[in-house]
Amino acid sequence: MTNRIIVLTGATRGLGRALIDPFIAEGHQVFGCGRSKERIASLKSAFPKGNFTSVDVTDTASVAAWAQQVFETAGPPDLLINNAAVMNEPGTLWTIPQADFDFIIDVNIKGVANVIRAFVPKMVEKKLGVIVNLSSGWGRSTSPEVAPYCATKYAIEGLSKALAQELPRGMASIPLNPGIIDTDMLRGAWGETAGSYPKAEKWAMKAAPFLLGLGASDNGKSLSVPG
């Protein structure tokens, strides 16, 4: 499909920001969101053909309003990418403050559910569309000092697979492990060691066509972006 309608959360930084360039270069209509109004303003300036909105995915009303804006402008998305996520500061589980634990749950799980609740009903009406929820290698394995993040990504795996069983034929819900990428989030966990992994921009050159190639036959599969 050409000229797809793509909805992308967490578009202002990291993997989300890197995906915008190849998507728009291929002529797709990108609707991206992020919490930072300043970064959203920067995206609007850099990509006049894009559609970018300041949205906090933990705010149900804000997400619903954004979805309505997308529907009125373009209609339901062909590709919905739940990318927005945060990671805890590394530490043993019992030392992670409650507020930090609650925040990562709110963004990484509840935020995804908010976006699904707002966008997917219209996609289901058409019986078309692919929902990609960004998982992680830490959604399929574990490491010390990132237990809250692991918990959220394991949840994304289960949520995505259960959703896959609820969708009509012709649609897909996919938990996707992007791989190990040098982003601010990874540097927060691994420090300078993250620099030995590919930059997000290089990753996006492979990830964008891979995402665009996903379809109904991939429904319910735990996939990874090819390395």
Per the structure, how many domains does the chain have? Answer: 1
Reported as a single tens digit per residue, the pLDDT across 109-159 is: 999 999 999 999 999 999 999 999 999 999 999 999 999 999 999 999 999
Q: What confidence score (pLDDT) does residue 97 get?
A: 98
**Whether pLDDT at 189 is above 80:** no
Average pLDDT over residues 158-183: 94
Chain mean pLDDT for the chain:
94
197 noted as active-site residue: no
Domain that holds residue 99: 5-224
Residue of 137, 187, 150, 42 lying closest to 17 (CA atoms)? 42
**Whether pLDDT at 207 is above 80:** yes
Q: What confidence score (pLDDT) does residue 136 get?
A: 96
- Percentage above 90 pLDDT, the chain: 89
Q: What are phi and psi of 32, to 5 degrees?
A: -115, 155
Average pLDDT over residues 158-174: 98
Please tell me the total number of residues recorded for the chain in this structure. 227
**Whether pLDDT at 194 is above 90:** no
**Whether pLDDT at 63 is above 80:** yes
**Segment of 159-168, 181-190, 198-207 carrying the highest mean pLDDT:** 159-168
CATH number at residue 176: 3.40.50.720
Residue 164 identity (one-letter amino acid)? A
Q: What confidence score (pLDDT) does residue 181 get?
A: 84
Q: Give all strands of the β-sheet with 129-134 in edge-to-edge order.
A: 51-54, 29-34, 5-8, 79-82, 129-134, 171-177, 223-224
Average pLDDT over residues 162-180: 97
Q: How confident is the model at residue 180 (pLDDT cuts 50, 70, 90)?
A: confident
Rounded to the nearest 10 degrees, how much is the dihedral formed by the CA atoms of 109, 111, 117, 119? -120
- Percentage above 70 pLDDT, the chain: 94
Residue 179: left if φ>0, alpha if ψ -120 to 50, beta else—which one? left
Rounded distance between C-alpha atoms, residue 136 and residue 175, angstroms: 9
Q: How confident is the model at residue 192 (pLDDT cuts 50, 70, 90)?
A: confident
Residues 149, 173, 174, 207: which is the catalytic one?
149
Q: What confidence score (pLDDT) does residue 196 get?
A: 61
